[in-house]
């Protein structure tokens, strides 16, 4: 686990450093490096788990590592280096890379939701929520994040004159397929979480409490 923590911290620094370098590139050649807000986000986003930790919400090291890897795929490669519009793009401008990222985001959010759900269950080891409620909870988080992100893109473009919805292809169909991809990724992940987990949430809670005592 210590090795994973070292790798995770190294990725945080490298991702932020890439954002710094691209921001410097924008200051030198703004016509080439044209996304300063994205570069600033790349600098800051790797440390979001640390902000949750300050709020006494701590996620597992493997999940944080998965989050950092996702930032590389979605932010550094996808937005900063234009992979959304250059990699796996169909003749009609549909970006399969974009859909893959949205699929991965749905799966990642489902795992985040599971850790939050397990955290809540740990507070009362004698009570375990029914499986249907767990599924509904995880589906709700995935759907809210998918919808919230598309709303953010729309509002950012409308208010700030940005082009987040036009990185590859704009339109209602593209927005809907983004959300559908996120939901599919989340649903598949939820299926594995609820059907193939070897240890139930209640058992995890009991183990956590036993370690405390």
Structure tokens at 174: 């593209």
Helix and strand tally (H, E) in the chain? 9, 0
Instruction: Count how many residues are written for the chain.
Output: 213
Give the lowest-confidence range in 73-82, 85-94, 98-107, 175-184. Answer: 85-94
User: Which tokens belong to 44?
Assistant: 């800051």
Please tell me the predicted confidence (pLDDT) of residue 168: 54
**Residue 77 pLDDT level (bands cut at 50, 70, 90):** very high
- Per-residue pLDDT, averaged over 151-163, amounts to 69
| Section 103-120 average pLDDT | 90
User: In angstroms, rounded to a whole number, what is the distance separating the alpha carbons of residues 158 and 142?
Assistant: 24
DSSP state of 179: H
Which residue do the tokens 């932020």 mark?
16
pLDDT band of residue 199 (cuts 50, 70, 90) is: very low
Question: pLDDT tens, 42-57?
Answer: 999 999 999 988 888 8
pLDDT of residue 200: 47
Claim: this prediction has a pTM higher than 0.75: yes
Q: What whole-number distance in Å separates Cα of residue 176 and Cα of residue 68?
A: 26
């Amino acid at each position: 686990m210590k090795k994973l923590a070292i790798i995770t911290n190294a990725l945080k620094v490298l991702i932020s450093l890439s954002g710094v370098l691209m921001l410097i590139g924008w200051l030198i050649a703004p016509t080439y490096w044209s996304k300063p807000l994205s570069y600033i986000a790349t600098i800051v986003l790797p440390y979001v788990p640390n902000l949750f930790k300050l709020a006494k919400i701590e996620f597992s090291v493997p999940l944080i590592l998965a989050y950092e890897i996702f930032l590389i795929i979605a932010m550094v490669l996808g937005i900063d280096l234009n992979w959304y519009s250059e990699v796996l793009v169909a003749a009609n401008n549909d970006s399969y890379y974009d859909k893959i990222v949205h699929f991965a985001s749905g799966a990642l959010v489902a795992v985040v939701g599971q850790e939050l759900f397990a955290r809540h269950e740990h507070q009362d080891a004698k009570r375990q929520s029914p499986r249907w409620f767990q599924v509904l909870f995880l589906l709700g988080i995935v759907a809210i994040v998918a919808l919230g992100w598309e709303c953010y893109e729309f509002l950012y473009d409308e208010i700030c004159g940005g082009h987040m919805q036009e990185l590859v292809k704009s339109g209602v169909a593209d927005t809907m397929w983004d959300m559908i991809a996120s939901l599919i990724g989340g649903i598949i992940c939820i299926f594995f979480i609820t059907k193939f987990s070897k240890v139930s949430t209640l058992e995890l809670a009991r183990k956590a409490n036993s370690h405390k005592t």
